[in-house]
Amino acid sequence: MEHKVNLDEISDGKRYTKNDLVKLGCDGCHGQASCCRFAEDTITLDPFDFYQLATGEHLSFEQLYGQGLIALSPVQGLLLPHLNFRKETESCPFLASDGRCGIHANRPGLCRLFPLARYFEEDSLYYILQVHECPNPVTPKVKVKQWIGLPNMEQYEIFLKKWHTLVTKTQKKIATATDNQTINTVTTALLKIFFLTPYATEKDFFTQFEDRSAQINSVLP
């Protein structure tokens, strides 16, 4: 989820690229990932996350939603899916009883990043290190792209920038809409095109995203 924040308050003040070395590590929680608790509805999911969950976990949007693993909440007026943390334990529904992520290989992009966060500036994507989020930081240095751990990092970043632009454009469209019908049309189209329509798991994600982007452009001129 996006927030308007003062970078100096939440980060070390630096902006990193995917090739930069950052002090990142994950030994501190000893398998009891505290970053998978107390995040409430802030782990927003994007289309690539759904492709990963469909490909690796064989979970569709309908199954995820039907089982209460995800929910929809407005983000600056636009309904977007997010992990549906369990109220009673304040933990992620995918957090296993041994304290580890049950979908580690296919975990969402925001989980891959933590305690990094994305920072978009004009046409560029940077990463910031949130200094108050991880209670158990360790200090080895690792390249950002290795921390994220996805193949096709170049294509992934292109997708992230396009998705960010599209979400921002849609939020502006909703903010300036003067009638409910426009808001409903835009919201429904985005949900249907990018989330409800299943991805072909045997095919490349990025090509499918481009095809779907062309579809939404007819709704968002």
Q: List interacting residues with ligand SF4 (CB under 6 A).
A: 26, 28-29, 33-36, 43, 83, 92, 94-95, 101, 103, 107-108, 111, 114-115, 134-136
Task: Please report how close the Cβ of residue 118 comes to ligand SF4 at its closest, in angstroms.
Answer: 16
Residue 71's closest CA among 100, 39, 97? Answer: 39
Nearer to ligand SF4 (CB atom), residue 77 or residue 93:
93
Nearer to ligand SF4 (CB atom), residue 15 or residue 112:
112
Nearer to ligand SF4 (CB atom), residue 28 or residue 66:
28
Task: Please report how close the Cβ of residue 115 comes to ligand SF4 at its closest, in angstroms.
Answer: 5
Task: Please report how close the Cβ of residue 129 comes to ligand SF4 at its closest, in angstroms.
Answer: 11
Burial status of residue 120 (CB atoms within 10 A of its CB: 0-12, 13-18, 19 or more): middle
Task: Please report how close the Cβ of residue 154 comes to ligand SF4 at its closest, in angstroms.
Answer: 24
Helices and strands counted in the chain (H then E): 8, 6
Please state, in angstroms and rounded to a whole number, the distance separating the CA atoms of residues 24 and 34.
Answer: 15
Task: Please report how close the Cβ of residue 218 comes to ligand SF4 at its closest, in angstroms.
Answer: 33
Burial status of residue 4 (CB atoms within 10 A of its CB: 0-12, 13-18, 19 or more): exposed
Burial status of residue 114 (CB atoms within 10 A of its CB: 0-12, 13-18, 19 or more): buried
Nearer to ligand SF4 (CB atom), residue 39 or residue 166:
39
Burial status of residue 78 (CB atoms within 10 A of its CB: 0-12, 13-18, 19 or more): buried
Copy the structure tokens of residue 20.
């930069």
Nearer to ligand SF4 (CB atom), residue 147 or residue 199:
147
